[in-house]
């Protein structure tokens, strides 16, 4: 049990230092100055370490549920953030051991849970009177939840709903589970939603950030294999900072740890070893199926768009390949590959790049919203 506790604490340190490195805007090479994060972010990581150590004290075997240690005085947003990070780091283990902290997949509308079998039931709770036939589903990334789509008072989904009459739905899911498993579950959930929607559906669009884009692609793959009806309504897929061809920092941690110490962005990953969740290891190659290296093209009859970012002021080969947005190289986010057989073939006019922008900053970037609106108009 002590080994499990120390492993969890160690991986938490990795994630926090990676997060702080990105915040500092490090150059791609050189010694890392990363330490501990502050504010709400720092609270989340401190809570994880403290809670994990509390659980470890006095236990000889198994994992006692740590839900009781969640700070009662913390806001719901802080508690949700805490649980989201825990699930990203070891969500697959939480499920295997029946831990109550394991998140279950679900859709939310206006902050309230949505039952895919009874979507009208949410109207009264949300104070709404009508659902449109245009559905937009937002899928968050690793260690995040639906609340992270709101940054600095801005929410891409709410703004698009106001401007273009979409019904925005937000997915919450356990990001530590295999991407293919989450994709399969999302495909089934969307099928039930389509069957129960109270009026004819004219359009479904999915917007995925980071890992969320891979989960969306996996859902399309499973939906196509099972010939699910919701795929006939899918009109657009938008990927925001999605590692379609993997995240090299994760891949490198698997076979060349010593070399990663050369980069402050990579150094934290040298400690991750075998402690990573299935969700994290799935980012190694951007896997969307159970087969790690299987290539799945984008659905041919769906408009697909890709948004990427670079921390650099201008695009260069070094900034594109070594830093990208701090986590995802530019070409990976745009779905480009040296191997023509693995290129996602997203047209140039459906690609957009933000300079001097980090991976998480894409969620609240005004330029992202402007481009989204232009594409959806």
Q: Which residue range is the domain that position 12 belongs to?
A: 1-103
Average pLDDT, integer, range 337-357: 94
Backbone angles phi, psi at 60, to 5 degrees: -100, -25
Q: Judging by DSSP bridges, how do beta strands 234-240 and 203-209 pair with one another?
A: parallel
Q: Which of 59, 85, 103 is the endpoint of a domain? A: 103
pTM, to two decimals = 0.78
- CATH of residue 360's domain is 3.40.50.1820
**DSSP for residue 179:** H
93 and 160 share a domain? no
In a domain, 273, yes or no: no
d(CA 245, CA 346): 13
89 and 198 share a domain? no
Q: DSSP letters of 5-35? A: HHHHHHHHHHHHHHHHHHHHT--SSS-----
Q: What is the mean pLDDT of the chain?
A: 79
189 and 299 share a domain? yes
185 and 309 share a domain? yes
Q: What is the pLDDT of residues 254-296, one digit of tens each?
A: 433 433 444 444 444 444 445 678 888 888 889 999 988 899 9
Report whether pLDDT(103) > 90.
yes
Report whether pLDDT(42) > 70.
no
35 and 183 share a domain? no
Q: What is the pLDDT of residues 161-213, one digit of tens each?
A: 889 999 999 999 999 999 999 999 999 999 999 999 988 999 999 999 999 99
Which residue, among 112, 132, 130, has the nearest Cα to 122 in the 3D structure? 112
Whole-number pLDDT of residue 183: 98
Neighbours of 209 (CB within 10 A): 27
62 and 174 share a domain? no
Given a contact cutoff of 8 angstroms between Cβ atoms, the answer to whether 240 and 172 are in contact is: no
Nearest-5° angle of CA 331, CA 334, CA 335?
85
In a domain, 275, yes or no: no
Q: What is the pLDDT of residues 210-259, one digit of tens each?
A: 999 999 999 999 999 999 999 999 999 999 999 999 887 655 444 334 33
In a domain, 280, yes or no: no
d(CA 81, CA 96): 21
For the chain, the domain total comes to 2
Report whether pLDDT(64) > 50.
no
Q: Which of 57, 78, 103 is the endpoint of a domain? A: 103
Q: Token pair for residue 108?
A: 């939310």
Q: What is the pLDDT of residues 118-131, one digit of tens each?
A: 888 776 665 665 67
Q: Which of 103, 132, 149 is the endpoint of a domain? A: 103
d(CA 358, CA 309): 7
124 and 41 share a domain? no
Q: DSSP letters of 89-119? A: HHHHHHHHTT-TTSPPPEEEETTEEE-TT-T
Report whether pLDDT(41) > 60.
no
B/e letters for 83-97, b = 16+ CB within 10 Å, e = fewer, are: bbbbbbbbbbbbbee
- Three-state secondary-structure class, residue 354: strand
Whole-number pLDDT of residue 54: 47
pLDDT band at 61 (very low <50, low <70, confident <90, very high): very low
d(CA 52, CA 94): 13
pLDDT band at 28 (very low <50, low <70, confident <90, very high): very low
In a domain, 163, yes or no: yes
213 and 332 share a domain? yes
Q: DSSP letters of 280-325? A: HHGGGTT--SSSTT---PPPTTSEEEEEEEESSSS--HHIIIIITT
72 and 202 share a domain? no
Neighbours of 39 (CB within 10 A): 7
In a domain, 10, yes or no: yes
Given a contact cutoff of 8 angstroms between Cβ atoms, the answer to whether 217 and 180 are in contact is: no
204 and 300 share a domain? yes
In a domain, 257, yes or no: no
Neighbours of 301 (CB within 10 A): 9
Q: DSSP letters of 121-165? A: HHHHHHT-----SEEEEEE--TT--GGGGEETTEEHHHHHHHHH-
320 and 226 share a domain? yes
67 and 168 share a domain? no
In a domain, 268, yes or no: no
In a domain, 72, yes or no: yes
């Amino acid at each position: 049990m002590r080994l499990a506790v120390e492993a969890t604490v160690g991986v938490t340190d990795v994630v926090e230092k990676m997060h702080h490195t990105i915040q500092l805007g490090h150059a791609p090479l050189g010694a890392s100055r990363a330490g501990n994060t502050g504010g709400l972010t720092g609270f989340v990581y401190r809570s994880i370490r403290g809670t994990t150590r509390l659980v470890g004290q006095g236990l000889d075997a198994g994992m006692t549920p740590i839900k009781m240690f969640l700070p009662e005085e913390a806001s719901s947003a802080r508690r949700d953030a805490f649980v989201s990070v825990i699930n990203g780091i070891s969500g697959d283990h939480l499920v295997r051991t029946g831990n109550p902290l394991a998140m279950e997949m679900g859709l939310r509308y206006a902050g309230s849970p949505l039952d895919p079998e009874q979507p009208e039931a949410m109207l009264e709770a949300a104070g709404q009177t009508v659902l449109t036939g245009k559905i937009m589903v937002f899928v968050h990334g690793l260690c995040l939840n639906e609340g992270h789509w709101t940054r600095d008072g801005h929410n891409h989904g709410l703004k698009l709903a106001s401007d273009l009459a979409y019904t925005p739905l937000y997915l919450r899911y356990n990001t530590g589970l295999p991407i293919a498993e989450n994709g399969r579950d999302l495909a089934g959930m969307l099928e039930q939603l389509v069957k129960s929607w109270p009026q004819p559906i004219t359009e479904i669009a999915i917007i995925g950030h980071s890992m969320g884009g891979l989960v969306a692609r996996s859902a399309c793959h499973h939906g196509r294999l099972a010939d699910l009806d919701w795929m006939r309504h899918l009109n657009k897929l938008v990927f925001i900072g999605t590692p379609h061809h993997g995240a090299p920092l994760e891949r490198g941690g698997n076979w060349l740890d010593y070399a990663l110490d050369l980069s402050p962005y990579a150094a934290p990953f040298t400690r991750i070893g075998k402690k990573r969740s299935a969700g994290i290891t799935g980012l190694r190659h951007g896997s969307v199926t159970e087969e790690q290296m299987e290539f799945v093209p984008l659905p041919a009859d769906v408009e697909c768009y890709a948004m990427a970012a670079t921390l650099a002021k201008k695009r260069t080969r070094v900034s594109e390949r070594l830093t990208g947005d701090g986590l995802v190289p530019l070409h990976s986010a745009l779905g480009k590959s040296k191997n023509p057989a693995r290129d996602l073939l997203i047209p140039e006019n459906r690609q957009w790049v933000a300079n001097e922008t980090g991976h998480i900053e894409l969620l609240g970037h005004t330029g992202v919203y402007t481009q989204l609106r232009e594409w959806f108009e």
